[in-house]
Amino acid sequence: MCRGSFLPPLLLLAAALVAAAEPASTLSGPARPVTVPLGERGHAVDLPDTDPRVQRRVTGWAPEQVAVALSADPTSAWVSWITGDFQMGAAVQPLDPTTVASVVRYGLAADSLLHEASSGESLVYSQLYPFEGLQNYTSGIIHHVRLRGLDPGTKYYYQCGDPAIPDATSGVHAFRTMPAVGPRSYPERIAVVGDLGLTYNTTSTVEHMVRNQPDLILLLGDVCYANLYLTNGTGTDCYSCDFAKSTPIHETYQPRWDYWGRYMEPVTSTIPMMVVEGNHEIEEQIHNRTFAAYSSRFAFPSEESGSSSPFYYSFDAGGIHFVMLASYADYSRSGEQFRWLERDLAKVDRSVTPWLIAGWHAPWYTTYKAHYREADCMRVEMEELLYSHGVDVVFTGHVHAYERSNRVFNYTLDPCGPVHISVGDGGNREKMATGHADDAGGCPDPASTPDPFMGGVLCAANFTAGPAAGRFCWDRQPEYSAYRESSFGHGVLEVKNDTHALWRWHRNQDRYNAVGDEVYIVREPHKCLRPGNNKLTRLSSSPRLASSPLVTLVVSQESHRHRVVVQCGNSVSAPRISETQASPAESSSVIQSDTSPLVHALQSTASQDVSCFHFPGHNRGKAAPSSLSKLIGPGAFLHDLPELPELDDLFSPNGVILDAQKRASELFGSSKTWFLVNGTTCGIQASVMATCSPGDYLIVPRNCHISVISALVLSGAIPKYIIPEYNSGWDIAGGITPLQVEEAVKELEEDGKRVGGVLVTSPTYHGVCSNVQGIVSVCHPRGIPVIVDEAHGAHFRFHDSLPSTATEQGADLAVQSTHKVLCSLTQSSMLHMTGDLVSVDKVSQCLQVLQSSSPSYLLLSSLDAARDHLSKNTNIFDDPLAMALETKDQLTTVPGISVLDLPCFASDFPAIDPLRITLSASDLQLSGYEADDILYEGHQIVSELVGTRSVTFAVNLGTRAQDVEKLVQSAKHLSEKCFLANSSKLMKEHRVCDPLDMISVHLTPREAFFTKKRRVRIEDSLGEICGELICPYPPGIPVLIPGEVVTHDSLSYLMNVRHQGITISGAVDAELNSISVCDL
């Protein structure tokens, strides 16, 4: 066999081996430290000012140095640019920022820039050195405009400038917004660079980086190195070596910033870039002014993320929360940065943004001699806070080399500590860091390590254990250092999902996509996040940080610049919820500040790897019946947890449940909100029990829900019925009026009876609202509390065109079925209180009596999640409302079909829920049941409620355009099919009389409930005292309530109901052959 014939299999084998070589993973524990031998590095030489890439390519007021930065979330972004040229000289005259407007036009296609933004600021800054022979600088006009209302994960085209001035707008650029915030979407590639500079090595880094197609760039400080120049444009590789002694102040040559902005424009105008300050941005000028160029030229989401400084801020991109911190601003625990960081981290919800990534300039874990342990004071102050919040990765720059750590905390290997990655050489002209502190003779003198600008204090203590015990340096590469290499380059982080991210270091000497170092960074939340909150579990196993000498940095952050605030955006009408919605910081007085604390607590607890000896016996799903587990998924069982300490106690809440309820009360505008696991039913019962003692009167509409009757039984209150208006053509009852309430109250008062409360059903099942405010004005002056059964109106607060809520109208107690129109799980409801007419403690006590002592956490957390969802989506009802209105309009044009509306009632009811569509096909000679059958059998349309003369459809947040279109088409079909066919038929009369008339009460509901019963044939029941509730639904009006005498009218109504084959759910004999009567 010739030699060549071996090659293909060998090559294949080699290829297979290469393909099989998976990157290492942090899961396999700390890696053995690796030092890559020093290769070729080449000297980095700055691009000269004659290079065409750094020269001004525009004229007049045309924009240049265009750049995009992210705002705090993916729905907003900043566009920045410069108009007008800079000036250098002994006397410079700053430009007037008002000369040119700041406008960005943007849209989804290059030829359709339909949106316009002009909210932000425009400014100039100056760098002043009023010393003999030195030159001053003043910038062009720098514009920052914020675009809002963007769709996440979407490509936007834009043009910036002043459209009113000829040739003062830019060409069309495009960028893509970050993916929507949430645990399932991530930016594909995040490029990370540091210490970039503007050399020929920089251009190689940038070119490689762009070819790797990042969606986002993090630049970790040290941007253009203008501070390696004198004001006359003379540069050096080492300022302190060449100029320090001969200059009155550390000079800079600010045009290098403009060069950098011009060179970078093709990148920064297309890929959002987020920057933090490095030491080369300090750029001290007279009056101790610092960071003028940095803070003027870049846009930061500081204000949006609650920071008051351009030096530290945070933002979300997909499932990642980034915090960008300042090495050169006060980082002490009492300082503003630290307090902001505490607030920011407390808000992070790891179920929404599982990844927490931090970035700043000066590394804490570096083993190079240059800048060795220079940032130890910052580490001592901040490390525990970051660790306790489970930061996953830390990116830094500063040291001109590459280094990746093992997971580490306080210099100790810790599986829950972050991975620190320093990418300190993007190509700048300073020397590369090549020597290590652990090289023989390499350990620097500790006294030489502190940076004066960072406080000038030595915070590094000697080590007491490990290979460096008793020393400042290690005697070999420390175990926390996993990989180090002195090379130029950039890194790319690919976050694959909520636990896995691939990190790759790309060296300039390789092809752009070749990999120098790579590792899978794997999160282990079950191991590292403490259940019930965001924190880590293992603080106690790690050595506590030694407290540091007090280091308080006073860095002048004011730059010399003229700032003009340009238009502050369009005034958008504030959604109603904003009036009462407190900031998360205000609302999280209890424990949590996640946006859905209960959901988060449940998730954290479920992610524990623990041996469970508690109920329920399916043991977090391990013993779940497989048929149900397959049906609803194992997750439902995993999260079906009992009242564990971290999950709080519904009946004595002081943790996550209290926090979640507080948030709900803020959103719904109440003074107190209770979560209910037994539906609105138990809320109504508790409300009646809390307001009425046995023998008190409760004024109620006759068409109240069955839960009110059971409340009367439980409380011993006596009903005083108000007969609501009844439309016999529709066989539907409406609401009640303030006048009716006033008459009932007066009647009782005249008879010397005590009124415990008034209960109003508003809206009714069909959406008819009563004038709650009017009823409150009748009751409150008399000290009578108003309870509103608002089971069908939980959504009213979330759109201006929906009726006002009972709480807004002053009701004392309002009970809402969050599970009806809103999106919590069936059986979950809320009880809202306002005012002080009713005792909070009494309501709590009654709720405890009425609810299970093992409330379902699935139900409770579904309430928390529903509230959170609503609070984040203020326009959520726009589409359903538009669809419902359009559908009603279309249905009214269908021959033979009518739609229920307010004019169907003579009373002046204030509103009807636009999302409830009730139609009648009576003109087609169809009963509600017949119409419903046709719609279901023939068109697969499932309604919410069927009556003798109507069918009701509930439009909700899940209703799709195709559903309502189908409804309209089906109604048309029904009309076409039945119009002629049935025209000769006469509509069968389904009713014999008004079910609300002729009530004769003999016993209270409670007395009747506890009286002995017997069964009689329905035909023989005339004159008997009814012992059960007989309530055909619809119209949902009880014909007989326990304790009422069976009259001729009620009997004939029931016989008719039976004749139609309607069953009475809840009656002892649902087919009404017999009824239960009191055996007195």
Ligand X SMILES: Cc1ncc(COP(=O)(O)O)c(C=O)c1O
Nearest distance from C-beta of residue 703 to ligand X, angstroms: 9
How distant, in Å, are the alpha carbons of 604, 614, 624 from that of 632? 20, 22, 11
Nearest distance from C-beta of residue 804 to ligand X, angstroms: 18
**603 closest CA partner among 565, 629, 641:** 641
Would you say 423 or 664 has its CB closer to ligand X? 664
Count of other CB atoms within 10 angstroms of residue 780? 15
Q: Which of the ranges 100-108, 485-493, 675-683, 955-963 carries the binding residues for ligand X, by CB under 6 A?
A: 675-683
Burial category of 966 from C-beta neighbours within 10 Å (exposed 0-12, middle 13-18, buried 19 and up): middle
**H helices present in 692-771, as ranges:** 706-715, 738-750
Nearest distance from C-beta of residue 736 to ligand X, angstroms: 13
Nearest distance from C-beta of residue 719 to ligand X, angstroms: 16
Q: Name which position in 136, 481, 681, 952 contacts ligand X (CB under 6 A).
A: 681
Helix (H), strand (E) at residue 599:
helix 597-606
Residues 762, 793 contacting (CB under 8 angstroms): yes
Please indicate whether residue 869 is annotated as part of the active site. Answer: no
Taking the alpha carbons at both ends of the chain, their separation in whole angstroms is 112
Q: Which residues contact 325 (CB under 8 A, 6 or more apart)?
A: 276, 311, 312, 331, 337, 341, 358, 359, 360, 382
Nearest distance from C-beta of residue 814 to ligand X, angstroms: 12
Residues 818, 824 contacting (CB under 8 angstroms): yes
Would you say 327 or 681 has its CB closer to ligand X? 681
Nearest distance from C-beta of residue 678 to ligand X, angstroms: 7
Q: Which of the ranges 295-303, 525-533, 678-686, 1057-1065 carries the binding residues for ligand X, by CB under 6 A?
A: 678-686
Q: Which residue has the tokens 């060069």?
A: 259
Nearest distance from C-beta of residue 711 to ligand X, angstroms: 10
Residues 326, 360 contacting (CB under 8 angstroms): yes
Q: How many residues make contact with ligand X (CB under 6 A)? A: 12
Would you say 707 or 1004 has its CB closer to ligand X? 707
Q: Name which position in 817, 887, 920, 1076 contacts ligand X (CB under 6 A).
A: 817
Nearest distance from C-beta of residue 819 to ligand X, angstroms: 6
What's the CA gap between 364 and 478, in Å, rounded? Answer: 13
Would you say 705 or 1006 has its CB closer to ligand X? 705
Would you say 831 or 964 has its CB closer to ligand X? 831
- Using omega within 30 degrees of 0 as the cis cutoff, is the peptide bond preceding 478 cis? no
Radius of gyration of the chain (CA): 36
Site for ligand X in 691-720 (CB under 6 A): 705, 707
Would you say 791 or 919 has its CB closer to ligand X? 791
Instruction: Give the SS3 label for residue 201.
Output: helix
**914 closest CA partner among 792, 733, 790, 771:** 792
Would you say 905 or 1033 has its CB closer to ligand X? 1033
| Stretch 269-288: interaction string toward ligand X, x if CB under 6 A | --------------------
Q: Which of the ranges 233-241, 457-465, 677-685, 773-781 carries the binding residues for ligand X, by CB under 6 A?
A: 677-685
Site for ligand X in 162-181 (CB under 6 A): none
Nearest distance from C-beta of residue 682 to ligand X, angstroms: 7
Site for ligand X in 761-800 (CB under 6 A): 761, 765, 789, 791-792
Would you say 305 or 678 has its CB closer to ligand X? 678
Residues 616, 856 contacting (CB under 8 angstroms): no
Would you say 707 or 922 has its CB closer to ligand X? 707
Determine the number of helices (DSSP H) and then strands (DSSP E) in the chain. Answer: 24, 45
Catalytic residue among 173, 321, 361, 371: 371
Nearest distance from C-beta of residue 700 to ligand X, angstroms: 12
Q: Which of the ranges 233-241, 658-666, 679-687, 954-962 carries the binding residues for ligand X, by CB under 6 A?
A: 679-687
**H helices present in 273-349, as ranges:** 292-297, 336-347
Would you say 428 or 761 has its CB closer to ligand X? 761
Instruction: Give the SS3 label for residue 519.
Output: strand
Site for ligand X in 728-767 (CB under 6 A): 761, 765
Tokens of residue 417, six digits: 């500590």
Tokens of residue 439, six digits: 């090289």
Q: Name which position in 138, 337, 595, 680 contacts ligand X (CB under 6 A).
A: 680
**741 closest CA partner among 717, 713, 721, 725:** 721
Q: Which of the ranges 300-308, 476-484, 601-609, 674-682 carries the binding residues for ligand X, by CB under 6 A?
A: 674-682
Nearest distance from C-beta of residue 770 to ligand X, angstroms: 12
**313 closest CA partner among 352, 336, 340, 295:** 340
Burial category of 453 from C-beta neighbours within 10 Å (exposed 0-12, middle 13-18, buried 19 and up): middle
Strands 517-522 and 561-566, sheet pairing:
unpaired
Instruction: Give the SS3 label for residue 158.
Output: strand
Residues 271, 177 contacting (CB under 8 angstroms): no
Nearest distance from C-beta of residue 602 to ligand X, angstroms: 22
**Identity at 903, one-letter amino acid code:** P
Would you say 65 or 681 has its CB closer to ligand X? 681
Backbone angles phi, psi at 881, to 5 degrees: -65, -45
What's the CA gap between 1052 and 1039, in Å, rounded? Answer: 11
**705 closest CA partner among 765, 757, 770:** 765
Q: Name which position in 255, 397, 679, 1043 contacts ligand X (CB under 6 A).
A: 679
898 binds ligand X (CB under 6 A): no
How distant, in Å, are the alpha carbons of 774, 839, 847 from that of 691? 20, 8, 13
Paired with 422 in beta bridges are: 396, 403
Nearest distance from C-beta of residue 724 to ligand X, angstroms: 12
Count of other CB atoms within 10 angstroms of residue 1017? 10
Residues 318, 178 contacting (CB under 8 angstroms): yes
Count of other CB atoms within 10 angstroms of residue 626? 8
Would you say 201 or 661 has its CB closer to ligand X? 661
Site for ligand X in 829-848 (CB under 6 A): 829
**259 closest CA partner among 53, 89, 67:** 53
Would you say 347 or 820 has its CB closer to ligand X? 820
**Identity at 823, one-letter amino acid code:** C
**639 closest CA partner among 604, 611, 609, 664:** 604
| Max Cα-Cα span within the chain | 119
Closest residue to ligand X, based on beta-carbon distance = 679
- Chain contacts with ligand X (rule: CB under 6 A): 679-681, 705, 707, 761, 765, 789, 791-792, 817, 829
Q: List active site positions.
A: 371
